């Protein structure tokens, strides 16, 4: 009997153990068993309780930082922080020259223009412009010269200077030269000595009022001179060697083709005018062309000093005879530094006071008639206005002087408008 109860108790215990092990085996063999079940979970299973699996929305259990350090997540590039989004972009400093030792900023430092220099050994030519200043064309000519780093000489009419002084200031700033072309563009050779002095004084005062100084150069209108004009005006009197006749043709192509047809312009003084749009168009072509040909564009005073080796003197005449008897010098002269009046300096003490207008009438006997020497240039063409024996009346209502009249001779290609000078002191010379 005791054996029977012992056997029965053993069977019951065996069945009980089998029943407890079966659920555990079934749980271990299931496909939905999570891989991260810990020993605590196994203990729960042994006691007949099954843990609930976490849902996707539930947060993952925190891990012990000492067991497994947490790696910080990298910030996403597409979502900048609020600090970065609100902060302004830093201003980039100007770039500097890597080879510069003093850190000079190359972007903001302008490149200075090279100063204009003259090489006496190279060809040079002087462009001159008469009859200005013109309110429109003078500035256009200056624009062309400035763009090409070139200069010229402007022989201006005093009455025009009084009416339009602005271009003269720019001429001085660009290094151009200013000369006088009388006050009202009269034939100075037909004025009395007193009338000539008054005309020169009136013109000089117009220049003083405009730029603070009177010019030392004089180009007589029409190129007409006599002994008084040559030596008694207190100016250096100069004419020209090449007449483009721009005043006559008013044709850009003719002006350009004539200048380009000359075999050489080295040492020449070219006559142009500031009064015509066609001349401006021609200058726009000729200035860069002359530079490409190797010519240096200089002022009249620079040409006389560096090419002919002479500083122009007051009371001296530089015309046909001078240019045909002088050539290029081997010893250029040095030009003196230009004198500029100091700020606030009164220059009126050394200048004529209250100049009067030129005389309206001159007795016929004081105006000598032109003498036509044998072998000289022919008489002016029919387009030349006839000048009476006495001084021409001045029409003060005209803002600009009369058109220049420059007779030409087809025999000489370069000195076409310069006939031989008349040695008689009382005669008049009409050079153009």
130 is catalytic: yes
Contact 278, 140 (CB under 8 A): no
Distance CA(315)–CA(177), nearest Å, equals 19
Contact 220, 189 (CB under 8 A): yes
Contact 274, 135 (CB under 8 A): no
**Which residue in the list 243, 273, 346, 395 is annotated as catalytic?**
273
273 is catalytic: yes
**Which residue in the list 130, 187, 204, 246 is annotated as catalytic?**
130
Catalytically active residues are 130, 273
């Amino acid at each position: 009997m005791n054996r029977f109860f012992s056997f029965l108790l053993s069977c019951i215990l065996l069945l009980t153990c089998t029943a407890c092990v079966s659920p555990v085996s079934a749980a271990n063999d299931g496909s939905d068993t999570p891989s991260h079940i810990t020993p605590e979970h196994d203990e729960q299973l042994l006691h007949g309780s099954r843990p609930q699996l976490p849902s996707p929305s539930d947060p993952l259990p925190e891990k012990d930082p000492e067991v497994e350090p947490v790696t910080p997540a990298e910030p996403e590039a597409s979502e900048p922080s609020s600090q970065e989004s609100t902060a302004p972009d830093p201003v980039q400093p100007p770039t500097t020259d890597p080879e510069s030792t003093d850190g000079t900023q190359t972007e903001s430092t302008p490149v200075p223009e090279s100063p204009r220099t003259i090489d006496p050994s190279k060809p040079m030519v002087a462009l001159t412009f008469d009859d200005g200043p013109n309110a429109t064309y003078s500035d256009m000519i200056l624009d062309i010269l400035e763009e090409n780093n070139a200069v010229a000489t402007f022989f201006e009419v005093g009455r025009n200077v009084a009416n339009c002084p602005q271009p003269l200031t720019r001429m001085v700033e660009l290094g151009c030269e200013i000369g006088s072309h009388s006050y009202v563009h009269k034939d100075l050779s037909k004025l009395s000595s007193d009338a000539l002095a008054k005309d020169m004084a009136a013109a000089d005062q117009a220049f003083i009022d405009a730029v603070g100084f009177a010019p030392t150069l004089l180009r007589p209108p029409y190129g007409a001179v006599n002994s008084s004009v040559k030596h008694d005006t207190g100016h250096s009197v100069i004419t020209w060697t090449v007449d483009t006749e721009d005043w006559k043709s008013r044709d850009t192509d003719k002006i350009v083709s004539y200048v380009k047809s000359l075999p050489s312009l080295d040492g020449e003084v070219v006559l142009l005018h500031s009064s015509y749009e066609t001349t401006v168009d021609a200058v726009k072509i000729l200035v860069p062309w002359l530079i490409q040909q190797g010519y240096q564009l200089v002022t009249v005073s620079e040409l006389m000093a560096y090419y002919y080796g002479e500083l122009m003197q007051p009371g001296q005449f530089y015309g046909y005879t001078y240019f045909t008897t002088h050539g290029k010098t081997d010893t250029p002269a040095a030009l003196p530094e230009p004198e500029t009046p100091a700020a606030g300096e009164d220059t009126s003490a050394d200048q004529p006071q209250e100049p009067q207008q030129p005389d309206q009438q001159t007795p016929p006997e004081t105006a000598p008639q032109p003498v036509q020497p044998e072998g000289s240039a022919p008489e002016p063409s029919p387009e030349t206005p006839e000048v009476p024996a006495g001084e021409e009346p001045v029409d003060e209502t005209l803002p600009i002087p009369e058109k220049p009249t420059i007779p030409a001779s087809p025999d000489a290609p370069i000195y076409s408008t310069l006939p031989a000078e008349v040695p008689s002191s009382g005669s008049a010379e009409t050079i153009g």
